[in-house]
């Protein structure tokens, strides 16, 4: 069996942040003991609440910030803190914020050319091809990032990340700034590149429909931990963890504009500065029981590869999620809209 | 609609380009009534953000309003002096920008920045009260542990937390019009639902209006009363939310809806509209969508005459010569190449 293109084992990250008083610092555990493997040519979709550590995880994997603990392996080889040029080339990231990640003084052509030039691989034709691949005209290369819309910049960032023919690409909300038609084009492009070149993707997104479309496996994070993972049909079709269940019930849809199906999470919002003991989801869980405060649920198998970290995990088909928990109070607006759907 | 809170008529915005001015916004009109939520969706790069920056009087250097008028509460604001605009911004009208990092100052603590927004309109608020309100605002947009978080710098926040900090700033002074440019793209759907509840709550309490720009068609479907769809600097279609989704009458709108991935269907390829959006500096003649439009293929009107918005239903208009056909059985399109 071929080694996974990317594997992380027990990866953790702590930040030290200021106390409210302004004196002293305390630890913020952004990523907590995360493990997964992505085989060559496959995609792992990573979803989770905002602030649960997805970008931090990605930044550790590309080597932008050092992990507090754990290991990263590329093609079976453990990477050291000091990465070789080949290791750096082999894994690229498209950042969440296309505004901050492009140098405003460079032309688009130079932005895409930069990694090629550094590695002595530059040719103008190659840059033009990369731009065309992501749906920008080569002439657009003469403009500067400020002259582009959010979605256009996002495509420049993707072209740049593809420049060095990486084996692994980390895509952090890479298509969320795009209209759905261009998003479809980029997603199709990513899948084609994967088929042709055997690329592996870690695809971070809040859009569960896109994640379902592009991923082979899906992992769900909450407060720094993976709380559910497995084949996409299992995780997104019949989720077992209450957080995943709430997430899927809340996806707005053009076809089903009925908010009453939403599982509403009560309780305090997740706070990495003050994580609940035992189960991290306890404060907002509609199924919480005394056991959840005392015993940390392990990421345990539900069915084959499908795993969830919950004492009472119960895979439930998506259509039946609304029956699990108290629903949202019906809203005036919804009522008037329902009769048209 | 005479009592619209915001009324934009035939707005034209030009940028200086290497070969003369480029019309990035080319005759855009829309109204937002009091208490109404207008959703704006459309092509990436079609001029959504630029139109709204024009409303705010915040166009970047090199850009200017080259035509049309903008009225807020009946008053022209497109040619208003900077002082008037400054008084409006952050007071009666506030904007949540698409790009959190350009509107948050990287060297100031989050709490300080929200406090400044409060003091801008109530300069004599005592310090402890400002601090209390900052924390309450952060809590209302779902930032946990607001006392600690207020002391942090923007780079210490996750993408979604920065977005929420900006929302807190934008609602600090109870605006009458809230312009939200992609306010929830970095948020998971449970927090998105909560933030939208906050925004709708602010609007309901003040009978305020909102313009919501987003690529999330499900989100506008849930939130907006009316929708405008933009393509290449113009409004391609506009109408009440229900009508627009039930009877999309512009081929571009249909193309967008067809491109949506869903949680159910399995496709090898997602459908997408073939071809690329036009270059603003070299817009095709006639209908800007015609090189990509299956319905318009070979029809002379499409490549010659620019279609204006015309009524296809109550409050529902589309800028297409063949809008009725588009709404009915459009011929099957080729899948994306
Ligand atoms: N440089 C830093 N210093 C201190 N704390 C940080 C830093 N970077 C991230 N954090 C904290 O780590 C946690 C995880 O942040 P991260 O950006 O990884 O979240 P995320 O899952 O990508 O969220 P989002 O979906 O909102 O982008 C957050 O609580 C954030 O405030
Ligand atoms: N400073 C600038 N100079 C020249 N052109 C610009 C400038 N800023 C924006 N543009 C152009 O104006 C057009 C409209 O941009 P705008 O940011 O309004 O798009 P948008 O509809 O908000 O797109 P998105 O959904 O991607 O955010 C784009 O084609 C962009 O290239
Ligand atoms: S372990 Fe308990 S609190 Fe945690 S998700 Fe399961 S039921 Fe909820
Ligand atoms: S006017 Fe013609 S080209 Fe334009 S959208 Fe309508 S049918 Fe298509
Ligand atoms: Mg992130
Ligand atoms: Mg924009």
pLDDT at site B1:
44
Closest approach atom of ligand 2 to CA A152: 26
What are the two backbone dihedrals, phi and then psi, of residue A93, each rounded to the nearest 5 degrees?
-130, 140
* CA–CA separation, B164 and B104 (whole Å): 11
Report CA(B45)–ligand 6 centroid distance (Å).
Answer: 7
For residue B169, CA distances in Å to B50, B114, B115, B117 come to 21, 5, 8, 6
pLDDT at site A333:
37
**Quick check: B243 and A169 in contact, CB under 8 A?**
no
A332: buried, middle or exposed (CB in 10 Å: 19+, 13-18, 0-12)? exposed
- Contacts with B, A 313-332, CB within 8 Å: 318
* CA–CA separation, B64 and B61 (whole Å): 8
With a 6 Å cutoff on the Cβ, whether B13 touches ligand 2 is: no
With a 6 Å cutoff on the Cβ, whether B293 touches ligand 4 is: yes
* CA–CA separation, B320 and B6 (whole Å): 25
Angle between helix B159-170 and helix B110-121 axes, rounded to 10 deg? 10
Atom 19 of ligand 1, residue of closest alpha carbon: A51
**Quick check: B181 and B97 in contact, CB under 8 A?**
yes
- pLDDT by residue (tens digit) across B48-71? 999 999 999 999 999 999 999 999
Which parts of B147-233 are beta strand (E)? 177-181, 209-213, 226-231
Query: Residue A229: which of A306, A312, A281, A311 has the closest Cα?
Result: A306
The region, left, alpha or beta by phi > 0 then psi within -120 to 50, assigned to residue B90 is: left
With a 6 Å cutoff on the Cβ, whether A280 touches ligand 1 is: no
pLDDT at site B337:
30
Average pLDDT taken over every residue of chain B: 89
pLDDT at site B336:
32
HSE, side-chain direction, 13 A CA sphere, residue B333: 24
B329: buried, middle or exposed (CB in 10 Å: 19+, 13-18, 0-12)? exposed
Query: Residue B266: which of A191, A110, A26 has the closest Cα?
Result: A191
- Tally of CB atoms within 10 A around A2: 10
Question: How much is the average pLDDT of A301-329?
Answer: 85
- State whether B261 and A212 contact (CB < 8 Å): yes
Query: Residue A236: which of A205, A260, A259, A265 has the closest Cα?
Result: A205
Confidence tier at A256 by pLDDT (50, 70, 90): low
* CA–CA separation, A298 and A315 (whole Å): 16
Query: Residue B311: which of B237, B254, B255 has the closest Cα?
Result: B237
Provide DSSP, B47-101. Answer: SHHHHHHHHHT-PPTTEEEEEEEEEETTEE-TT--HHHHHHHBTTTEEEE-S-HH
Closest approach atom of ligand 2 to CA B60: 1
Q: What's the sign of the alpha-carbon dihedral A222, A227, A233, A238?
A: negative
Closest ligand (CA of B158): 1
- pLDDT by residue (tens digit) across A191-201? 988 998 899 99
A-interface mutation test, from B13, B35, B44, most A Cβ less than 10 A away: B44
**Chain A residues within an 8 Å CB radius of B279:** 137, 139-140
Query: Residue A144: which of B61, B159, B277, B155 has the closest Cα?
Result: B61
Confidence tier at A258 by pLDDT (50, 70, 90): low
pLDDT at A80 over 90: no
HSE, side-chain direction, 13 A CA sphere, residue B147: 7
ipTM (interface pTM): 0.83
**Quick check: B6 and B71 in contact, CB under 8 A?**
yes
> How much of chain A is helix, strand and coil, in % rounded to 5?
35, 25, 45
* CA–CA separation, A212 and A217 (whole Å): 9
Give the pair of three-digit tokens for residue A128: 């033009």
Contacts of B314 (CB under 8 A, 6+ apart): B240, B243
Query: Residue holding tokens 């991290």?
Result: A280
Q: Which residue of B has its CA nearest to A206?
A: B188
pLDDT at A332 over 60: no
pLDDT at site B169:
92
Query: Residue holding tokens 């309780």?
Result: A267
* CA–CA separation, A44 and A194 (whole Å): 13
Query: Residue A211: which of A92, B158, A239, A223 has the closest Cα?
Result: A239
HSE, side-chain direction, 13 A CA sphere, residue A65: 17
pLDDT at A176 over 70: yes
pLDDT at site A20:
65
- Contacts with B, A 105-164, CB within 8 Å: 135, 137, 139-140, 142, 146-152
R_g over Cα of chain A: 21
Confidence tier at A21 by pLDDT (50, 70, 90): low
For residue B125, CA distances in Å to B118, B136, B146, B239, B265 come to 8, 15, 20, 43, 55
pLDDT at B193 over 60: yes
């Amino acid at each position: 069996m071929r080694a996974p293109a990317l594997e992380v084992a027990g990866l953790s990250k702590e930040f030290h942040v200021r106390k409210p008083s302004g004196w002293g610092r305390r630890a913020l555990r952004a990523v907590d003991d995360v493990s997964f493997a992505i085989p060559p040519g496959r995609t792992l979709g990573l979803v989770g609440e905002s602030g649960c550590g997805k970008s931090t995880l990605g930044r550790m994997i590309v080597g932008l910030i050092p992990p507090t603990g754990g290991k990263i392996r590329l093609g079976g080889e453990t990477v050291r803190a000091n990465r070789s040029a080949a290791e750096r080339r082999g894994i690229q990231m498209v950042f969440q914020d296309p505004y901050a990640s492009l140098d405003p003084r460079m032309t688009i052509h130079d932005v895409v050319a930069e990694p090629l030039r550094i590695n002595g691989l530059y040719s103008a034709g190659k840059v033009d091809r990369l731009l065309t691949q992501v749906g920008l005209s080569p002439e657009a290369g003469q403009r500067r990032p400020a002259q582009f819309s959010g979605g256009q910049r996002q495509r420049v960032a993707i072209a740049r990340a593809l420049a060095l023919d990486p084996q692994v690409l980390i895509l952090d909300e890479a298509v969320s700034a795009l209209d759905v038609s261009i998003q479809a084009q980029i997603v199709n492009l990513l899948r084609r590149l994967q088929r042709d070149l055997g690329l592996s993707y870690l695809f971070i997104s809040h859009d569960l429909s896109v994640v379902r479309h592009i991923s082979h496996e899906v992992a769900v994070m909450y407060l720094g931990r993976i709380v559910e993972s497995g084949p996409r049909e299992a995780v997104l079709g019949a989720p077992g963890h209450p957080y995943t269940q709430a997430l899927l019930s809340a996806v707005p849809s053009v076809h089903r504009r009925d908010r009453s199906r939403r599982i509403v999470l009560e309780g305090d919002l997740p706070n990495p500065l003050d994580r609940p003991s035992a189960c991290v989801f306890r404060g907002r869980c509609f199924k919480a029981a005394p056991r959840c405060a005392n015993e940390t649920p392990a990421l345990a198998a539900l069915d084959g590869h499908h795993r969830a970290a919950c004492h009472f995990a119960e895979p439930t088909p998506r259509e039946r999620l609304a029956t699990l928990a108290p629903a949202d109070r019906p809203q005036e607006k919804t009522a008037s809209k329902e009769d048209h759907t | 609609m005479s009592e619209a809170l915001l009324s934009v008529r035939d707005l034209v915005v030009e940028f200086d380009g290497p070969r003369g001015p480029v019309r990035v916004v080319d005759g855009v009109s829309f109204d937002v009534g009091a208490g109404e939520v207008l959703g704006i969706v459309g092509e990436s790069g079609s001029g959504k953000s630029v139109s709204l920056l024009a409303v705010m009087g915040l166009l970047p250097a090199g850009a200017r309003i080259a035509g049309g008028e903008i009225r807020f509460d009946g008053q022209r604001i497109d040619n208003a002096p900077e002082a008037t605009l400054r008084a409006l911004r952050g007071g009666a009208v506030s904007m949540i920008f698409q790009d959190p990092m350009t509107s948050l100052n990287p060297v100031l603590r989050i709490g300080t920045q929200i406090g400044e927004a409060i003091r801008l309109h109530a300069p004599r608020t005592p310090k402890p009260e400002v601090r209390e309100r900052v924390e309450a605002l952060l809590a209302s947009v779902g930032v946990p542990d607001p006392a600690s978080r207020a002391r942090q710098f923007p780079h210490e926040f996750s993408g979604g937390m920065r977005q929420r900090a900006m929302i807190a700033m934008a609602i600090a002074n109870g605006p009458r019009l809230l312009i939200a440019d992609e306010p929830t793209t970095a948020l998971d759907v449970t927090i998105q639902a909560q933030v939208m509840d906050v925004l709708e709550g602010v609007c309901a309490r003040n009978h305020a209006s909102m313009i919501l720009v987003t690529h999330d068609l499900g989100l506008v479907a849930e939130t907006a009363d009316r929708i405008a769809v933009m393509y290449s600097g113009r409004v391609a279609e506009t109408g009440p939310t229900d009508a627009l989704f039930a009877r999309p009458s512009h081929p571009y709108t249909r193309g967008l809806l067809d491109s949506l991935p869903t949680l159910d269907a399995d496709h090898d390829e997602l459908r997408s509209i073939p071809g690329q959006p036009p270059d603003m500096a070299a817009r095709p003649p006639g209908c800007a969508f015609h090189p990509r439009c299956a319905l318009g293929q070979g029809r002379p009107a499409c490549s010659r005459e620019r279609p204006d918005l015309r009524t296809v239903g109550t409050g529902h208009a589309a800028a297409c010569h063949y809008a009725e056909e588009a709404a009915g059985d459009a011929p099957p399109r080729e899948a994306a190449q």
